[in-house]
Structure 1
Amino acid sequence: MTDENKDERLSYEQARAELASVVERLEAGGTTLEESLALWERGEKLAGICQRWLDGARARIDAARHESAS
């Protein structure tokens, strides 16, 4: 399984927790430029995963509301 496939299997809570950890590490400083860039890229990927989960949840809520209104 590739890393990308593993990332797509992360739950919202797992991705959010890892994102929080990445942010903490970036805010703490003390990393090299290369490490900081890698952390930033990881954070962007995790933020995208979280956003997809949230978008999916919103779509499900909207669909349920539409269905109950019909």
Structure 2
Amino acid sequence: MYKNLVEILKRKGITNKAYADYLGITEKTVWNKLQGKTEFTLGEALKTCALMPEYKMDYVFAMEEKVA
């Protein structure tokens, strides 16, 4: 899960729907990406970082490992 990205989106008041529209993908695809089920493309990562330039890409896209 991309915990940092989820938290940043919440802080900025950006809904999954608005984020999906910004990236040009569906809300379900955004949810899958945020959960780590599918990967972000480089283009999506670059667009995301343009939306939040105060954060570094490695922080935004730090993966939280699930403990089994």
Fold in common (TM above 0.5) = no
Bigger-Rg structure (1/2):
1
1 or 2 for the larger relative contact order (CA 8 Å, sep ≥6)? 2
TM-score, scaled to structure 1: 0.28
